[in-house]
Structure 1
């Protein structure tokens, strides 16, 4: 296992060296929340791996790191409320919201007939991803590119086609899909299956979009 880790580290060092050779003085920025990032037309390239739609418990899996590094002074629950793809909602938060995509209404209706909470989780995920992608699109320069690494998952036994929904949102925002690739997950750490109704996350989709010049 250590040999694999060492191999991946060496490969990433080689990639960084190649990047520095081909890009003179690249400027990289990381924003805490894409839904509130300000500024328009400033970025040439955005690379992001959005959360799975409630398929992974991100805050729980990173809770030890967050507490150890002192990055959760107000508690983990507040961090979870700020995260996209969360699955815990108080009753007061579970208000009826409009489905942001007509193509998802039928599926969300089927999920709701099985579990209303899961329907709310999936709908909220699409709404918050639409907001994040909208701000991201505004930040891209004309002719700029967006790369998304997206994984589909299963909700209440129904296939939740995340990559198709996010592609539809991006195209609604004026981005054109240039390339779609699939990468099969050979996981040594990611929990790819949570329970019988969640299904197996076996691959991810890489989507390349371009903003009109």
Structure 2
């Protein structure tokens, strides 16, 4: 937050005086990834997102509780593996879920009484985006210092991160409730792509 920056930059760690709280937040931000959803099927979302595709627009409707259970299971550090440059690594990311809190970006402060948890910043957004009604799922590798491989080389965190997702299981478990198409969307293309994943529409009599 702009109003947080001066205090964060002035706050130093006792044993590392050349490393500020602002540096810490920057480091955390570089290790944090977010996937964004809307909790409302609103005209605003349809009008402002997924524009420009010649195939039209589609919306995947999730059941949040079931989606969260799927992701928690998939990202459990005891079973999940992180692949980095051909290396199999321990899963170092924490998963968090939350509604985005919309604030007046230029005047809002979070550190008036104490320095903020870095995760807090992941769920703050300018109030000019309030019509999104956003829910965010984040992956974060928070901590001071670096993550290294066995050979001592440091892990560099890319701008984006890919997470495998089992769409067939999500549909079978009803984590995905339905797929909505905008008027004029290419439904044949969607069916063809889904069939490549062995996902076929339910017979009309089975649809609710």
Higher relative contact order (CA 8 A, sep 6+): 2
Normalised to the residue count of structure 2, the TM-score between the two structures is 0.28
Which one has the largest radius of gyration?
2
Normalised to the residue count of structure 1, the TM-score between the two structures is 0.28
Structure with the larger strand share: 2
